[in-house]
């Protein structure tokens, strides 16, 4: 009996989720360093990279998220390890494509990480988050995110979410067309 794949170390796909200002980016950097392997490309993928280029113009938000999904898809195909998705990921449907891609790739251990740990029971006040973000994000945005936060129990829960499946099943994005 061949052991082959059984002895191979699975690569890591880590999906961070949390409101702006909770420390997703610093956590992503720490995790990237912790799981880095010599001579293996590693990556942090954040839609904020594209939002900054478009000066946070909401008109480009959908396109920016699409580009980030494409970047993660390409990274999965290159074998990047670890891959860390650093987005708010408030709704299940926002995480679904990343989890779907990782599952389809087959050699990634997929983890969702909520910040702060135990959110929403252990949440940080909107006023504090607003200050930590230097007032660049309106308080109404934080309130919206809190009100629309969807609990993600595990990977299977996200993958089996009917709204997410319906939302993405006809997507023509490169990661979904094969």
Check pLDDT > 60 for residue 3.
no
**DSSP collapsed to 3 states, 67-119:** HHHHHHHHHHHHCCCCEEEECCCCCHHHHHHHHHHHHHHCCEEEEEEECCCCC
The per-residue pLDDT for 176 is 83
At 105-157, the pLDDT tens digits run 999 999 999 999 888 788 899 999 999 999 889 999 999 999 999 999 999 99
pLDDT at 6: 55
- pTM as predicted: 0.90
pLDDT of residue 159: 96
Four-way CATH pick for 10-176: 3.40.50.300, 3.40.50.720, 3.40.640.10, 3.40.47.10 = 3.40.50.300
């Amino acid at each position: 009996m061949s052991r082959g794949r059984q002895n191979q170390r699975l690569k890591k796909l880590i999906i961070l989720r949390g409101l702006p200002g909770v420390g997703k980016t610093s956590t992503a950097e720490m995790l990237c360093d912790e799981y880095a392997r010599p001579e293996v490309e590693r990556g942090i993928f954040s839609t904020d990279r594209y939002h900054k280029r478009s000066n946070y113009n909401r008109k480009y938000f959908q396109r920016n998220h699409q580009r980030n999904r494409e970047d993660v898809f390409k990274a999965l195909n290159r074998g990047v390890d670890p891959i860390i998705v650093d987005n708010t990921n408030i709704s299940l449907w926002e995480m679904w494509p990343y989890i779907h891609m990782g599952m389809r790739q087959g050699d990634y251990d997929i983890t969702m990480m909520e910040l702060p740990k135990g959110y929403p029971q252990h949440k940080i006040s909107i006023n504090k988050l607003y200050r930590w973000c230097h007032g660049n994000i309106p308080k109404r945005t934080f309130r919206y995110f809190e009100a629309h936060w969807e609990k993600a129990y595990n990977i299977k829960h996200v993958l089996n979410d009917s709204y997410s499946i319906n939302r993405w099943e006809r997507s023509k994005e490169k990661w979904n067309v094969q």
